[in-house]
Amino acid sequence: MRKSIHRTIGGALSAVTIAAGLALALPADATPNHQAKPTIVLVHGAFADSSSWNGVIERLRRDGYPVRAAATPLRGIATDAASVKSLVDFIGGPVVLVGHSYGGAVISTAAAGDPAVKSLVYIAAFAPDEGETVGALSAKPVPDPIAALPLQQVPTGPQSADLYLEPAKFRSVFAADVDPATAATMAATQEPVNAAAFAEPAPAAAWKTIPSWYLVARNDKAIAPNLERFMAARAKSRTVEVNSSHAAMVSHPEQVTRLIEAAAR
């Protein structure tokens, strides 16, 4: 009997010792009371790809944020939003959705009615209202409008085409403050957008119910800065302005990261 009692007490003490050792070995963010940081989901727009977020990703990861860059199909708002929504659902936790350019229209739809999306961040991006098209927004009269984009249409079917920015004019329109070598690579690797995407009415406007942040690129030649200000004000977004080209996430990754982290907090 005494041996049995001693074995029982000894086993209990060993279990306590092991549990204490595990608690000391676990990092602080593994404790049950730790509030995990939301995952930042980055959504590129037309004429770009996920690599345009590289500088932002590096800074977010340095600051301890989990990050995913969605490979946006650029086929149409509903299709692209469904692709992003599937990634958000897979992550299965609190998310901050960040959209650049046309990617703003995508996140506005992807986030609609999803309690996992805690905030929206627009980086020189379209934020259409429900039923509004990107094309109609682009044509909206504003002070100091921009010139028409130098687009190349590549037919993909009898009544369909992909749109590219003319490579020779890419830097001046899209990335004027990006170094020439990087801008040339961006022009060569740009992802085309289905022309019909600009005429597709936005199915939803999540910025009406989800808090949003907006970065206005003051030197933008792809979306008029005054149009960006209009969309930011309409969405009641917390807004910052940066002396940047359209490719703000490439030329000003630090400012973009600070805005995203403000939204995440």
Packing angle of the helix pair 103-110, 77-91 (nearest 10 deg): 60
Domain of 44?
Answer: 39-132+149-264
Mean pLDDT of 140-147: 96
Q: What is the mean pLDDT of residues 68-73?
A: 96
Find out whether 50 and 71 touch, Cβ atoms under 8 Å. yes
* pLDDT 10s digits, 232-252: 999 999 999 999 999 999 999
Q: How many structural domains is the chain composed of? A: 1
Residue 11 counted as domain residue: no
List the single range of 27-41, 69-83, 96-110 with lowest mean pLDDT: 27-41
Residue 148, pLDDT score: 95
Q: What is the pTM of this model?
A: 0.87
Spatial contact of 59 and 254, defined as CB atoms under 8 Å apart: yes
Per-residue confidence (pLDDT) for residue 29, from 0 to 100: 38
Q: Identity (one letter) of the amino acid at 114?
A: D
If you average pLDDT over residues 26-55, what whole number do you get?
78
Nearest CA to 110 among 204, 231, 194? Answer: 204
In this structure, what CATH number is given to the domain that contains residue 214?
3.40.50.1820
The answer to whether the beta carbons of residues 48 and 175 sit under 8 Å apart is no
> pLDDT higher for 32 or 37?
37
36 confidence band (pLDDT: 50, 70, 90): confident
The answer to whether position 98 is within a domain reads yes
Q: Does 218 map to a domain?
A: yes
